């Protein structure tokens, strides 16, 4: 004779009320976490906004001083000497590349597919 088995809990009982309650709790948790993330937390956001506007004002006042400093640096003899050296090196490089491109006709006459 077969042994009696215990009733299957999935078949013998409805879990819809438990699922409904757990989904309601989950939705409350999600709503609370979104509120806490966007409104409840981060009290420093107002301070950050105030600091940003103050710092923009400060930097706006510093532009004239920075332009004067740049003009002084560009007018210095050391900068002019470096600029002349860079320009001379650029001219030498251009001459070399044009000379080497004239010497190698194979690169110009190569067959293209």
Buried b (16+ CB within 10 A) or exposed e, 68-96: eeeeeeeeeeeeeeeeeeeeeeeeeeeee
pLDDT at 1: 62
- Residue position matching structure tokens 């042994």: 3
Q: In whole angstroms, what is the distance from residue 1 CA to residue 70 CA?
A: 102
pLDDT in single tens digits along all 113 residues of the chain: 667 777 777 777 788 899 999 999 999 999 999 988 887 777 778 889 999 999 999 999 999 899 999 999 999 999 999 999 999 999 999 998 888 777 766 555 555 54
pLDDT at 108: 52
Q: Single out the residue of 46, 48, 68 nearest to residue 56, CA to CA.
A: 48
Q: In whole angstroms, what is the distance from residue 63 CA to residue 103 CA?
A: 51
Residue 79's contacts (CB-CB under 8 Å, 6 or more residues apart) are 73
Whole-model pTM?
Answer: 0.39
């Amino acid at each position: 004779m077969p042994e009696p088995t215990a009733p299957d809990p999935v078949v013998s009982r409805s879990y819809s009320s438990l699922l409904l309650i757990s989904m309601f709790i989950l939705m409350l948790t999600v709503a609370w976490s979104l509120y806490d993330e966007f409104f409840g937390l981060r009290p420093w956001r107002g301070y950050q906004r105030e600091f940003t506007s103050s710092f923009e004002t400060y930097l706006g006042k510093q532009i004239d001083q920075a332009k004067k400093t740049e003009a002084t640096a560009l007018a210095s003899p050391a900068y002019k000497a470096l600029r002349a050296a860079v320009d001379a090196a650029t001219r030498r490089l251009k001459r070399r590349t044009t000379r080497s491109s004239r010497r190698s006709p194979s690169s110009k006459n190569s067959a293209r597919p």
